[in-house]
Homo-oligomer: A and B are copies of this chain.
Amino acid sequence: MSSVFLEDLDADTFAEYLSREGSTVIIPTGATEQHGPHMPLGVDAMLSAAIAASVAENIGALVAPVFAYGYKSQPRSGGGNHRLGTTSLRGVTMINLIEDVVSSFLAQGFQNVVVLNGHFENYQFVYEGLDCAVAQARKDGNAGRGMLLSYWDFVDETTLQSVFPDGFLGWDIEHGGVLETSLMLLLYPDKVDMSRVMDHPPAQLTNYDIFPEDPGRTPSSGCLSSAKAATAEKGQQLFEAVRGAVSSALVSELQLMAAPRKAN
């Protein structure tokens, strides 16, 4: 029962891990959201879980079960909540979900609880849940810490230029685009069908939101930019960049040892 995935550990092995100095759990947060005709609905959950596992192996952390449902998809970063397949939580549910799980991990004794986010729209609601959980834990005498990040924020400039040789237009339009598709090609090649990629120019997004959403503004592909240039090689570059940078940030921030400490 050797695994970085907490759900694969038996209770005794888990308890042994918890007693270590620097015990850290990484919670991947994704979504159930359409990602075009060429990728599955679970992309955000799959990628955040895979990256979390890879980082966890690097730094000797555990990975909690992924949050498979996320906050509502928004037209300016995900195509919108109206599209079939997109299955979302209200803001308050997302906040409470994070607050409960983080509170539970802190109460069990984790020194560090890290949320590794893979769905753009989750960030602020996860922030609020984490903030409330850690603030309450402090009042209760618990010294545990929290940390929150979105994995794409750790792609460095050099990798960006290499992956987007024609210029990088922003993470917001990467929904279903080269970033996610390349990572999927690397990590879950069976779940991508490049022949179904719809090639179109990047979506022209407004700098505001309207309610109710206007389905006509989301490209019919459901993606905000074309994934045509995606490759597993680019996925490898992105993955390495993210794994390294996130691992370094965690080690330095949370004072974990850099040497791998597998949870078994």
Interface residues of A (CB under 8 A from B): 1, 5-12, 14-15, 18, 32, 34-42, 45-46, 64-66, 68-69, 71-72, 74, 81, 83-93, 95-97, 99-101, 104-105, 108-109, 121, 123-125, 127-128, 130-135, 138-140, 145-149, 153-154, 191, 193, 196, 206-212, 222, 249, 253
Contacts and interface: CB of A to CB of B under 8 A. Distances in A.
A6 B193 CA distance: 16
B93 A93 contact: yes
A142 B25 CA distance: 32
The oligomer's copy count stands at 6
Nearest to A154: B207
27 contacts: A6-B41, A6-B85, A7-B42, A10-B36, A10-B39, A11-B34, A11-B35, A11-B85, A14-B85, A64-B87, A87-B101, A87-B105, A89-B97, A89-B100, A91-B91, A91-B125, A91-B128, A92-B95, A93-B93, A93-B97, A123-B124, A127-B209, A134-B211, A135-B212, A148-B208, A154-B207, A210-B253
Contact of A85 (B108, B139, B196): B108
Nearest to A129: B91
A134 B212 contact: yes
Contacts of A139: 140
Contact of A18 (B81, B84, B95, B210): B84
Contacts of A92: 91-92, 95-96
B90 A128 contact: yes
A149 B95 contact: no
Given A10-B41, A42-B65, A87-B104, 8 more contacts: A1-B191, A9-B40, A12-B37, A12-B196, A18-B84, A84-B108, A123-B124, A130-B211
Given A9-B40, A101-B69, A207-B149, A90 B96 contact: yes
A72 B40 contact: no
Residue from A9, A135, A148, A154 having most chain B Cβ neighbours under 10 A? A9
B10 A208 contact: no
Contacts of A124: 71, 91, 121, 123-125
Contacts of A249: 206-208
